[in-house]
Amino acid sequence: MKVILASASERRQELLSRIVENFTILVSEFDEEKVKKTGNISDYVENIALGKARDVLSKVSESSIIIAADTVVSLDNEILGKPKDKSEAYEMLSKLSGNTHNVYTGIVIINTDSGKTLKDFVETQVVFSKLTEKQIKDYIATGDPMDKAGAYGIQGKAGVFVKEIRGCYYNVVGLPLNKLNEMIERVI
């Protein structure tokens, strides 16, 4: 059966290749703005992942397993998405500095043959060191924060900002491998 990843994220593609040998990429065109923020962040990321998976499902005609995910960073129940510009990246990193935040990833897997749909999420706590203005500005100058939730990527240069992690490291990167592997086993 064909496996389809509904994501253009290079990080998700690299992580998925650790547990699935062959898969195709079919990027979802789902409008994430359609999902309302109700205060329950786990529901929010699951519903975005579901929207992405259903969008790809509508474009697929062969037997497939569709995998979709969405990751957000949350500080004090405020969602920090991908920064729109350097100023917003600076604001986000300043908020995260010296604080503990949560990273949520919603995952949805659909088996097109059986119609079985699994939906779940993983939450990880991340503790940032206190950052100096220079550290934040130097990191922003690399361009790395611009396409990442919360304006940082733990797997890159921002890894030095992380003092402690409680939970799944791969969740913070964008695809919790243990949970995903368990879900794939259940949907096949």
Which one from 31, 43, 55, 70 is the annotated catalytic residue?
Answer: 70
Predicted local confidence at residue 19, as pLDDT: 96
In the 8-state DSSP scheme, what is residue 129? P
SS (H, E, C) 144-155: HHHHCHHHCCCC
pLDDT tier at 27, thresholds 50, 70, 90? very high
CB 5 within 8 A of CB 16: yes
> Any idea which residue has 């699951």 for tokens?
46
| pLDDT surpassing 90 at residue 55 | yes
Query: What pTM did the predictor assign?
Result: 0.95
| pLDDT surpassing 90 at residue 39 | no
Over the stretch 142-172, which tens digit does the pLDDT of each residue have? 999 998 999 999 999 999 999 999 999 999 9
For domain 2-187, give its CATH number from 3.40.630.30, 3.10.20.30, 3.30.930.10, 3.90.950.10. Answer: 3.90.950.10
- Note if 70 is an active site residue: yes
pLDDT tier at 15, thresholds 50, 70, 90? very high
Residue 186: count of CB within 10 angstroms of its CB: 12
